[in-house]
Amino acid sequence: MSIQVKKVENKKDLKKFIDFPHSLYQGDPNYVPMLQMAAKEILSEKKNPFFEHSQVDNFLAYKDEQVVGRISAIRNNNYNDYHGSNVGFWGFYDVVDDYEVSKALFDVVAQWHSKHQFDAMIGPTNFSTNDTAGLLIEGFDRPPIVEMTYNKPYYQTHIEKYGFEKDMDLFAYMIYTKDVSDKSVRLAKMIQDRLAKKGINIRKINMKDFKNEVAKIKEVYNKAWEKNWGFVPATDKEFEFLAEGLKMIVIPDYVLIAEHEGKFIGFALTIPNINEITKSFKKGKLFPFNIIKLLMNKKKTDYVRIITLGVIDDYRKLGIEAVFYANIIQSARKNKIIGGEASWILENNEMMVKAAENLKGVKYKTYRVYTKSLSY
């Protein structure tokens, strides 16, 4: 049967695009459906601020009139402006175990990128590194933690057969609360007391002033991560969009802010692993009753995810990062959390890798972002 790749043109097509993974992964014990509401908002040109500066076209692959694959072709203008680069991206890639389908999808993306005269195509990113990114290549034995990707092992074979090469590996470390020594926690308490004498304080986020807190956190985020591989500054609207998406599941004990005389200088964001709850949500639907289940159980998860933990340049190596980790661990123990995933950590981020390993973290999942040059 011939393979046809068609652009998503209407609501009916978009529904197929969103729903395809549910049938593809049916029966997979490690699959966690993306929340339907979140998928619709991310892919909506009206709701997602990404579309104010960039462009995305989504495609579906058909075989015998059945959907057998999907992919997004992405033009991220802010990324190229920030890095002085000329590259295109791809994401939301899912496919049956048929290389010819993958080839057809990548051919369409390559043609799309060629029209924009990009030098290379990079992915998977959904749509940027501020969103979910990376292909799972190691650690298929456990479901993904919240806001991390999952895929079949054969995806790697398809991608590399097409000619993609590794751009960067992203690590996920599991830190078990029982393995962290009390000595580390006590040492961090001493560091925190010493920082306080310098006017540096660590506190929880103020949810009653959420909007202003988020605005200040954004400034730290854009400064602290500006030199990292793949980083692209989030616009005000993008950061607010991301924050609103997390607000419903945030637990203040796990969101920490470092201030020096009132100035934000660092923050750590940890969220409960709601995948443990949403795993059973059919097609990722929240309404009408699953939303209640989510809100009632968000404090009862076995795991959390440390999404971001950073400090601006002038305040690094003072021990603020260690204090963040220690406070998160203490809160996790109080809430009977088994472990926390620190992810993702760039393979070349020696400081963060060392910090995770010092806490006896185990590197248990690896994700990869690929690149392929385009020739004309």
Q: What is the pLDDT along the chain (376 residues), one digit of tens a residue?
A: 699 999 999 999 999 999 999 999 999 999 999 999 999 999 999 999 999 999 999 999 999 999 999 999 999 999 999 999 999 999 999 999 999 999 999 999 999 999 999 999 999 999 999 999 999 999 999 999 999 999 999 999 999 999 999 999 999 999 999 998 888 778 888 999 999 999 999 999 999 999 999 999 999 999 988 888 999 999 999 999 999 989 999 999 999 999 998 899 999 999 999 999 999 999 999 998 999 999 999 999 999 999 998 899 999 889 998 899 889 988 999 999 999 999 999 999 988 898 889 888 999 999 999 999 998 6
Report pLDDT for 107.
98
Which class for 263: exposed (0-12), middle (13-18), buried (19 or more C-beta within 10 A)?
A: middle
Report pLDDT for 152.
97
User: What tokens were used for 255?
Assistant: 């969101």
How many helices and strands, by DSSP H and E, does the chain display?
12, 15
Q: 326, 189 in Cβ contact below 8 A?
A: yes
Domains of the chain are 3-167 (3.40.630.30), 175-366 (3.40.630.30)
Query: 29 — phi, psi (to 5°)?
Result: -65, -15
Cis omega before residue 112 (within 30°)?
A: no
Cα–Cα dist 46/129, whole Å: 21
Cα–Cα dist 299/275, whole Å: 12
Report pLDDT for 376.
66
Q: Which residues partner with 233 through β-bridges?
A: none
Q: What is the pTM of this model?
A: 0.94
Report pLDDT for 1.
66
Report pLDDT for 182.
80
Distances (CA, A) of 159 to 88, 95, 142, 151, 350: 16, 11, 22, 12, 28
Kindly give, in sequence order, each residue whose CB lies less than 8 Å from that of residue 24, ignoring residues fewer than 6 positions away.
94, 95, 96
Report pLDDT for 187.
84
Cα–Cα dist 304/302, whole Å: 7
Secondary structure element (H or E) that encloses residue 191, with its range: helix 182-197
Closest CA to 105 of 132, 131, 73, 127: 73
Report pLDDT for 322.
87
Report pLDDT for 186.
82
